């Protein structure tokens, strides 16, 4: 497809002298002024003028390709069931589910008495979102007696959620508990109180609070406040048997958990085990025992049990394994539901308390499977989710007595989808330090591996988050245009175990970038594509990945899409006044106190490493209210690229002025942004 040739000259951001010195090194940052000192109130007229000029430039490009964008949007929307709904799940006396009304951007939430009766709408997101540029439901919890509903909602993308309590008999909100909540609220056993977490001015979840409904707010009790570790965040939860409320604190590598009776959270908390640097542990309870999985003596975690009366005495139930990586444990009445990953593939295991184990079988060579939606302590069956690169999301109920996997729902593609027309492969690519990195690839049958094809390559590679090889109906718009699509399961995620995560962080961070480049070269060698025929995409820390590899190997990429990219790494990690910086040091290092961390981060920080060279076409996005990757990171990066690069390739910056880290919130608005991304790739990648 032709590239645009008649856009006006792109915007430029002026350079204003600014420098600082750290560890004997002077850093020049002439675009520092793009950070409004009044943030999060962005009101500087020069900053806003630049952002608007970039958005206008993006809109100019978009206007040239409106037909293609609309076509892609219509294709993608045609694969979405407009009145989609979830499979009802029982919780006590009710069945609960969500559903979309035709045309609606947001879900509506329903319930129905198990004994029979009419459907009851308990929360209507379209009504809540009406007239708002942004709306996101963060949590929804019905009280144990079924009479009250607690919701957390974000109205501007800032990730400060209002916690409200609604009387389900009237549909009216009876209390606003906090306007700076986050996470999941937890009800007391008697439905008369709620435990919740709040964020401070730096967006860090720093304390757990307890409110007795109907009481003055000054009677709210702080159950726990994190004061020792600047980077730790606090969360609350409830054990699956609903007897204990859990209050956890930790960062990306270290956790500490306390508990209190759900009958009376005002009682003193019990500490399970004091924090130890680098040790994680996660807790559930059943039959008077705590069930704990932890990485204290094996990197891939072991499963242990402990008496509630002596919670620090952990007895091993399942030893840690080099091959089996434990990723989750939920304690039900009859079974421990254990999630793990073996050779990068999900495994779901049911273990009785007598030690008998049943592995739930799946046939495909590459897939994703997970336990889901089992709120009751003693379910008759276990709800599962399953998908692969060619298999739409499928909801199962697994019946342990018979071993039957009952299909409850298969993701419907209204415009039609024939899985037999597509093929998927799982490759192992040798990278430069001798490690093999898995890659999941999907393509339409008939795709020729002759080195002439186009490839869309995606990765994340941070925080131990694996990218599962799941079905994505949007992807069909590329597959049916002759593209192959791939996911690189690079280090930094935990795709191949916790060690895989450790080998892509801190002083090993560049493994992540090298893995991605070497995977791309491996796919070129395997004749899936050629240098310049690859479109790449990543967001947040994955956007940092995009910035690093476009600096190091620009000739490989035909187009780059970096969503809310964490690219100003050095400056952000040096600024402990920013909301989330202290909590990020265990992932990236602390360049304030550590000269080696400073030098290493500077060596790969995408913003700092922009150089005078040709860059491929690039689309960069950001969000004005984003608290995770502040808007000035993509803005500064785009400005520096414009001033430094030696090519005439298209560079677009789009800043969502009313959204945060996740982009726009409605399902059709989000889909339109995907269509823009795909149109950019399709129009920029040469044949």
Could you give the residue numbers annotated as active site? 540, 626, 661
What proportions of the chain, in percent to the nearest 5, are helix, strand and coil?
20, 35, 45
Is residue 558 within 8 Å of residue 454, measured between CB atoms?
yes
CA–centroid distance for 506 within its chain: 20
Eight-state DSSP code of residue 360 = P
> Both tokens of residue 664?
């726009």
Residue 682, class by beta-carbon neighbours within 10 Å (0-12 exposed, 13-18 middle, 19+ buried)? buried
Residue 272: which of 320, 304, 225 has the closest Cα? Answer: 304
Q: What is the DSSP letter of 9?
A: P
Residues paired with 335 in a beta bridge? 352
Return d(Cα 651, Cα 489) in angstroms, integer: 28
Dist CA 687 CA 677 (whole Å): 18
Three-state secondary structure call for residue 52: helix
**3-state per-residue secondary structure call for 621-642:** EEECCCCCCCCHHHHHHHHHHH
Please provide residue 66's backbone torsions phi and psi, each rounded to the nearest 5 degrees: -60, -40
**What are φ and ψ of residue 632, in 5° steps?**
-70, -15
| 403 burial type by CB count under 10 A (0-12 exposed, 13-18 middle, 19+ buried) | exposed
Query: Which 3 state secondary structure label does DSSP give 366?
Result: coil
- Is the Cβ–Cβ distance between 442 and 423 less than 8 Å? yes
Backbone region of residue 434 per phi and psi (left: phi > 0; alpha: psi in -120 to 50; beta: other values): left
Residue matched to tokens 């076409």: 617
At 371, phi and psi to the nearest 5?
A: -70, 145
SS3 per-residue string spanning 78-100: HCCCCCCECCCEEECCEEEEEEC
* Element holding 129 (H helix, E strand): helix 125-129
Evaluate whether 608 touches 543 at the Cβ level (below 8 Å): no
Question: Of 673, 675, 624, 661, nearest to 54 (Cα)?
Answer: 624
Instruction: Give the separation between CA 563 and CA 662, rounded to whole angstroms.
Output: 9
What's the CA gap between 627 and 605, in Å, rounded?
A: 19
Beta carbons of 314 and 304 less than 8 angstroms apart? yes
Q: Which two tokens stand for residue 638?
A: 């785009």
Distance CA 522, CA 455 (A): 12
């Amino acid at each position: 497809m032709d590239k645009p040739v008649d856009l006006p000259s792109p915007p430029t951001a002026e350079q204003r002298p600014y420098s600082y010195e750290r560890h004997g090194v002077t850093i020049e940052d002439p675009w520092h002024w793009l950070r409004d000192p009044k943030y999060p109130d962005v009101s500087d007229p020069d900053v806003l003028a630049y952002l608007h000029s970039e958005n206008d430039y993006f809109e100019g490009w978009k206007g040239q390709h409106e037909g293609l964008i609309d076509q892609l949007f219509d294709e993608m929307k045609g694969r979405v069931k407009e009145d989609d709904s979830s499979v009802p799940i029982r919780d006590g006396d009710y069945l609960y589910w969500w559903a979309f009304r035709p045309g609606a951007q947001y879900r509506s939430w329903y319930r129905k008495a198990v004994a029979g009766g009419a459907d009851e709408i308990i929360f209507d997101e379209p009504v809540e979102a009406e007239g708002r540029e942004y709306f996101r439901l963060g949590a929804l919890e019905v009280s144990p007696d079924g009479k009250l509903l607690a919701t957390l909602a974000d109205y501007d993308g800032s990730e400060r959620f209002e916690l409200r309590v609604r009387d389900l008999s009237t549909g009216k909100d009876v209390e606003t508990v906090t306007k700076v909540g986050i996470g999941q609220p937890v009800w007391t056993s008697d439905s008369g109180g709620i435990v919740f977490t709040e964020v401070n001015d730096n967006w860090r979840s720093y304390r757990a609070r307890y409110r007795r409904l109907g009481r003055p707010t000054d009677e709210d009790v702080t159950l726990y406040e994190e004061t020792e570790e600047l980077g730790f965040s606090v969360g609350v939860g409830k054990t699956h048997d609903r007897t204990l409320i859990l209050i956890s604190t930790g960062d990306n590598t270290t956790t500490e958990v306390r508990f209190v009776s759900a009958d009376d959270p005002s009682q003193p908390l019990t500490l399970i085990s004091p924090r130890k640097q680098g040790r994680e542990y996660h807790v559930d309870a059943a039959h008077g025992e705590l069930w704990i999985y932890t990485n204290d003596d094996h990197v891939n975690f072991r499963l242990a049990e402990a008496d509630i009366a002596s919670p620090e005495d952990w007895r091993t139930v399942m030893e840690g394994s080099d091959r089996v990586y434990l990723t989750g444990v939920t304690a039900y009445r009859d079974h421990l539901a254990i999630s793990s990953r073996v050779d990068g593939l999900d495994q779901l295991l049911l273990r009785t308390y007598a030690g008998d184990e049943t592995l739930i079988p799946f046939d495909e060579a590459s897939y994703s499977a997970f336990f889901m939606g089992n709120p009751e302590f003693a379910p008759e069956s276990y709800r599962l989710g399953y998908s692969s690169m060619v298999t739409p999301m499928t909801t199962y109920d697994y019946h342990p007595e018979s071993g039957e996997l009952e299909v409850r729902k298969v993701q419907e593609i209204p415009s039609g989808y024939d899985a037999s027309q597509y093929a998927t492969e799982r490759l192992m690519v040798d990278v430069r330090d001798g490690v093999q990195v898995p890659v999941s690839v999907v393509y339409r049958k008939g795709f020729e591996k002759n080195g002439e094809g186009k490839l869309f390559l995606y990765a994340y590679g941070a925080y131990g988050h694996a990218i599962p090889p799941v079905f994505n109906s949007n992807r069909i718009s590329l597959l049916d245009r002759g593209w192959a699509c791939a996911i690189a399961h690079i280090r930094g995620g935990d795709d191949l175990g916790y060690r895989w995560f450790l080998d892509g962080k801190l002083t090993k961070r560049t493994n992540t970038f090298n893995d991605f480049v070497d995977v791309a070269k491996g796919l070129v060698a395997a004749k899936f594509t050629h240098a310049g025929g690859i479109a790449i995409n990543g967001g947040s820390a994955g956007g940092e990945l995009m910035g690093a590899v476009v600096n190091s190997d620009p000739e490989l990429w035909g187009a780059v899409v970096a969503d809310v990219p964490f690219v100003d790494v050095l400056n952000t990690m040096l600024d402990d006044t920013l909301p989330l910086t202290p909590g990020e040091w265990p992932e990236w290092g602390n360049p304030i106190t550590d000269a080696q961390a400073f030098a290493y981060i500077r060596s790969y920080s995408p913003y700092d490493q922009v150089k005078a060279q040709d860059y491929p076409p690039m689309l960069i996005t950001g969000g004005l209210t984003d608290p995770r990757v502040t808007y000035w990171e993509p803005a500064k990066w785009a400005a520096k690229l414009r001033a430094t690069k030696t090519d005439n390739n298209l560079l677009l910056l789009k800043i969502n002025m009313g959204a945060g880290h996740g982009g726009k919130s409605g399902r059709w608005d989000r889909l339109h942004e995907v269509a823009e991304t795909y149109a950019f790739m399709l129009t920029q990648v040469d044949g």
